[in-house]
Structure 1
Amino acid sequence: MDFRLLPFVSLLYLLSFLDRSNIGNARVAGMARDLNLVGLKYNVAAAVFSIPYALAEVPSNIALKLFRPSRWIPSIMLVWGIIMTLMCLVNSYAGLIVARIFLGFAEAGLFPGIAFYLSHWYPRRKMAMRIAIFFSAATVAGAFGGILAFAIEKMDGIGGLHGWQWIFCLEGLATVIVATFAYFYMYDYPETATFLTETERRHVIDMLKEDSRSLSTGFDKKYIWQAVTDYKTYTQIGIHMGLLVTAYSISLFAPTIVNQLGFSAARAQLLTVPIFVCGCISTVIVGILSDKLNIRGPFIIGCALVAMVGYIVLYTHTTPAAGYAGCVIAAIGVFPTVPVDLAWIGGNVGGTLKRGIAIAMVIGMGNLGGLCSAFVYFDGPRFHHGHGTILGWLGLSIVLTCFMMYDYNRCNKNKVHQCATGGIDKSQEDAFAELGDDSPLFRYIL
């Protein structure tokens, strides 16, 4: 399963993250000059992506539940690939805004969709490493994007296009090609996967059934309502927003921050590569450790504290070397928190539809943090407002994570007491199938 699923979905997310964040590389490559992006115009162009992206995520996961993943995911990917390719024709600020809005709508379904999709294949305690591998594609995209942008810039003038326009064109075409291939390669669910033998299929299905305590897998609007009215969903939104604001700020502004530390534009593109490579390595390592120990909250807190150290260095030092080290430390800390948090969210929601809605709500509303990260980096070269704001968001995530660890532990103790006093055991699990994670047999992961 790992061999058949993870490399491919990681490639899909790599292209997704590359296409949404290459605006940062394009800015350094001359887009800001050619489109006259003065003042906060670039910030607005980066931010407008987040609004349709947030609004479309829940509907997309509902559609994923209704339709086959092997049709829905390649379709939305094909659409955003075409949009990205056509962004090479943008010749005005207004055109850039419109293109980013449509890109946000089209890309919205991939990240929550893949997270939801993987939850149909793996049990809860094995999800963090898989999501970490999948999410590490984002950090690879950051590194690859810097190298690619450095190379593509050399095409400036070919075909009458600027170097930054070629960045959009070639990266969009790559997405279109992979999306077309995805129609034929992507699998739906274990029940229909042709690469599994009957024995393997039965083992996977039984493993997932045991992990879910026989909770409902059907489609009913009451499960949507369960997710929408659960206070835990909104607390997790707060945690995820703080983490995503930080992750997005690195992705959108790393080339600019490095550039304004005193490095040339071309060198800034290349110097972003080690930042994202270090983030990628730490993401996979933390995901493996989180699964091995079957805990989530302490890893989120620990990594967020590491990220805070990086931003404190950025905030307090003026030399290019210290600032660059701060960027690396921040990436090492923040990138692992996102997949661990997603595994925490998906593992603590019972029932497939409720899980899909909760994941989409957390990622969708959390992505509204992209609006914040797009506007706080305006006072270079020190970026005190940006770095200070990020420190505040990380602090919020740490506080809310501590609360959720306490609350999940309290709920588990109540469920143990309820089972002991009511004589409830696994033989009665079908009777609680429609309760989701409110089932007395369901246990939260801390």
Structure 2
Amino acid sequence: MAPHTDVEKSSIEYKDEESELYVVDPAAEERLVRRLDRRVVPLAMLIYLLCSLDRSNIGNAKVLNDTTGNDLLQSISLSTQDYTTALMVFLVAYFIFETPSNYMLKAFRPSRWIALLMFSWGAMTMCLGAATNFGSLTAVRFLLGMFEAGLFPGLVYFLTFWYKPNERAIRVALILACATLAGAFGGAIAYGVGKMNGTGGLEGWRWLFILEGIPSCLLSLLVLALFPDYPETVRWLNAEERELATRRLQGLASVGHSKISWEEAKKTLKEWRLYVHYIIYICISVPFSSISLFTPTIVSGLGYTGLDAQLFTVPPYAVAFVVTVTISWLSDKYEKRSIATSVCLLIAGIAFIVEGVLAPTAFKARYGILCVAVSFAFASIPPLLSWLTANLQTTGAATLGVPMNVSMGAIGQIIGVYIYKASEAPGYPTGHFTNAAFALLGSFLALVLRTVYVRWNRKLGPNEREWRV
């Protein structure tokens, strides 16, 4: 374990609102955290896995059964520009609805709101299987973006009610890493579903949307019944555990019963440091978006075609899962979230540069470098989000700051939609070099912001709360 800082000591003993000293028993706290991990994290991971699967499967549908003329584009007569527009519309909805969704989550309770979102995006995914032209595809993609928008910022915000700042990065990583699992599973599922092409008179991509939408609708009922809301209200903790779960977070995290004031919102909107966090997240979102949506296309450019292109998207995501969880665990253990973010983005940036300069025909080398680029691009996100939430000091700030951060990321995701140009296949230099530029910029800005926080900490008084780095 890393040495305790003054901030960490405050979680061991402090005074509550009645000025009574409350001492946290470390052994009891450890048992509580393990119990929370069993009840909170696995279900959150499963929810985000299905969300990521339903979000990115359009990338698989684009090339599924393309050799027989039954892929998404050929079946409903879409141009490459039409396809790109359908991707972009999803992200516009994402940008618009992320912040309002977080407020709805707070107002209606996490279990109810997330269950509603989940059922809705599952239904929209199934409706994609009925798309017959550009208009219907784009309209349903907008609705899908509207319902999926609130989940990831909602889950990150939700974790602030349950975990201390130095506990969050690994939990965020386990949830976010499910996006990499979705990429791996998505490729494997698409490989299998592709063999259903023509079954029941439906193309394989239609079956893909239908079959991947059903689990989200069914699981939403389980989420409604079992997903916890706040430590103060859950019944599976006894009174002593509920008190410990709440008291250990005082001054460090959001509180379920706290009200959100306009003054808190205005203060959060005026903090310039948060906009540096947002810009870094935009930089991360460019490769995150382009990788999520275009990996099957990129792999097709590496010499793999047909159903093999689906199957060979699995290894990069499998490696990314391991790297993401490992990096996040280290960033939590050593309290080095800013360094972890910067180093991951630096490695990803270099990998994208190498990917761009390699000869288009160097298939094996480019495939190996793609695994590195995907892994470290994904791995940079959990430490950055944990770093942000650790420096949001009130419930109101977290309610607004987290979704604003993810909403700003939609700008980067929209950029990511346009950078892999079909006319540049199989090398895709514009895509790789654009990803590299944003990754390197994000790496630099993370170091700049770290320097600012370190300087601010040097000026703090003995009892003032430190900025996390």
Q: TM-score range by the shorter chain?
A: over 0.9
Structure 2 CA distance for aligned equivalents of residues 227 and 278 of structure 1: 37
**What TM-score, normalized by structure 1, do the two folds share?**
0.92
**Structure 1: runs of 5 or more not aligned:** 426-440
Structure 2 CA distance for aligned equivalents of residues 215 and 345 of structure 1: 19
Structure 1 CA distance for aligned equivalents of residues 348 and 406 of structure 2: 20
Question: For residue 185 of structure 2, what is the aligned residue in structure 1?
Answer: 144
Determine whether 1:176 maps to 2:217.
yes
What does residue range 106-117 of structure 1 map to in structure 2 within 5 Å?
A: 106-117=147-158
Given that residues 299 and 309 in structure 2 are in contact (C-alpha distance below 8 angstroms), is that contact kept between their aligned partners in structure 1? yes
Question: C-alpha displacement at 1:35, in angstroms?
Answer: 2.2
Q: 1:348 aligns with which of 391, 394, 397?
A: 391
The alignment partner of 1:211 has SS state of coil
Structure 1 CA distance for aligned equivalents of residues 252 and 170 of structure 2: 17
Given that residues 349 and 358 in structure 1 are in contact (C-alpha distance below 8 angstroms), is that contact kept between their aligned partners in structure 2? yes
Distance 1:21 1:214, change over 3 A: closer
Question: C-alpha displacement at 1:410, in angstroms?
Answer: 1.9
Question: For residue 277 of structure 1, what is the aligned residue in structure 2?
Answer: 318
Report the AA paired with residue 188 of structure 1.
Answer: D
What does residue range 25-424 of structure 1 map to in structure 2 within 5 Å?
A: 25-29=60-64, 30-212=71-253, 217-318=258-359, 319-378=362-421, 379-414=424-459, 416=460, 419-420=461-462
The CA deviation string for residues 209-235 of structure 1, in whole angstroms up to 9 with x for no partner, is 153499993221222222222112211
Question: For residue 59 of structure 2, what is the aligned residue in structure 1?
Answer: 24
The CA deviation string for residues 401-445 of structure 1, in whole angstroms up to 9 with x for no partner, is 11110111122222x2xx35xxxx4xxxxxxxxxxxxxxx22211
Question: C-alpha displacement at 1:105, in angstroms?
Answer: 0.7
The CA deviation string for residues 141-182 of structure 1, in whole angstroms up to 9 with x for no partner, is 000000011111111112221100111111111110111221
Determine whether 1:7 maps to 2:42.
yes
Distance 1:368 1:389, change over 3 A: same
Report the AA paired with residue 366 of structure 1.
Answer: G
Distance 1:131 1:264, change over 3 A: same
Structure 1 CA distance for aligned equivalents of residues 91 and 157 of structure 2: 20
Given that residues 419 and 431 in structure 2 are in contact (C-alpha distance below 8 angstroms), is that contact kept between their aligned partners in structure 1? yes
Given that residues 187 and 311 in structure 2 are in contact (C-alpha distance below 8 angstroms), is that contact kept between their aligned partners in structure 1? yes
The sequence identity of aligned pairs, in percent, is 33
Structure 2 CA distance for aligned equivalents of residues 284 and 164 of structure 1: 31
Question: For residue 430 of structure 1, what is the aligned residue in structure 2?
Answer: none
The alignment partner of 2:425 has SS state of coil
Given that residues 215 and 351 in structure 1 are in contact (C-alpha distance below 8 angstroms), is that contact kept between their aligned partners in structure 2? no
Question: C-alpha displacement at 1:368, in angstroms?
Answer: 2.1
Distance 1:63 1:215, change over 3 A: closer
Distance 1:214 1:359, change over 3 A: closer
Question: For residue 437 of structure 1, what is the aligned residue in structure 2?
Answer: none
**Structure 2: runs of 5 or more not aligned:** 1-35, 65-70
Question: C-alpha displacement at 1:193, in angstroms?
Answer: 1.5
Structure 1 CA distance for aligned equivalents of residues 252 and 272 of structure 2: 23
Question: C-alpha displacement at 1:205, in angstroms?
Answer: 1.2
Higher helix share: 1
Given that residues 76 and 106 in structure 1 are in contact (C-alpha distance below 8 angstroms), is that contact kept between their aligned partners in structure 2? yes
Given that residues 300 and 398 in structure 1 are in contact (C-alpha distance below 8 angstroms), is that contact kept between their aligned partners in structure 2? yes
Given that residues 349 and 437 in structure 2 are in contact (C-alpha distance below 8 angstroms), is that contact kept between their aligned partners in structure 1? no
Structure 2 CA distance for aligned equivalents of residues 35 and 375 of structure 1: 21
Determine whether 1:444 maps to 2:448.
no
Count of residue pairs the alignment pairs up: 424
Given that residues 255 and 272 in structure 1 are in contact (C-alpha distance below 8 angstroms), is that contact kept between their aligned partners in structure 2? yes
Given that residues 242 and 393 in structure 1 are in contact (C-alpha distance below 8 angstroms), is that contact kept between their aligned partners in structure 2? yes
